Amino acid sequence: MENRAVYVALGVDLEGHKEVLGLWSSGNEGAKFWLSVLTELRNRGVKDMLIVCVDGLKGFPQAIETVFPLAQVQLCIVHLVRASLNYVNWKERKQVAADLKPIYRAATAVEAEMNLESFMVRWDKYKAIGKLWNLLRTPRAKTASTPARTCCYTLNIG
């Protein structure tokens, strides 16, 4: 018997309908694995991807941009919040998590920026969290509309 993970690619079309694009099994997950999955999806007829929500795997955004250069890569908010809370002591986790919400629930990129700045002032002792969220600021990063953003979590398949 071998222990292997099964990965699922889930697509959401412009009308909001979810569709399983495929299941893949692999002994290890890496950018090279996902590059082959993305290439297979393109070869099977996927023409474009608007937003791709990922879990922070190193090299994954570059693999996506290789196959679908116009795709916007978004780090899953659940994964980002969990990574942020790794820096926080147990007594303050609940409050820090609450203070992160205005950032990712912001209606616009400008509002999110302002909320991030406020967070960084309040939680100056957790500079690493600010740095983590600042890594998401790229020239290509755009804020999707609220309905699109609310479906961009890697864990909400239901």
Could you tell me which of 79, 76, 84, 124 has the C-alpha nearest to residue 100? 84
Q: What are phi and psi of 22, to 5 degrees?
A: 165, 165
Residue 43's pLDDT band (cuts 50, 70, 90) = very high
38, pLDDT greater than 80: yes
**pTM of the model as a whole:** 0.69
154, pLDDT greater than 60: no
Neighbours of 124 (CB within 10 A): 9
pLDDT, averaged across the chain = 83
Write the DSSP string, 54-119: E---TTHHHHHHHH-TTPEEEE-HHHHHHHHHTTS-GGGHHHHHHHHHHHHT-SSHHHHHHHHHHH
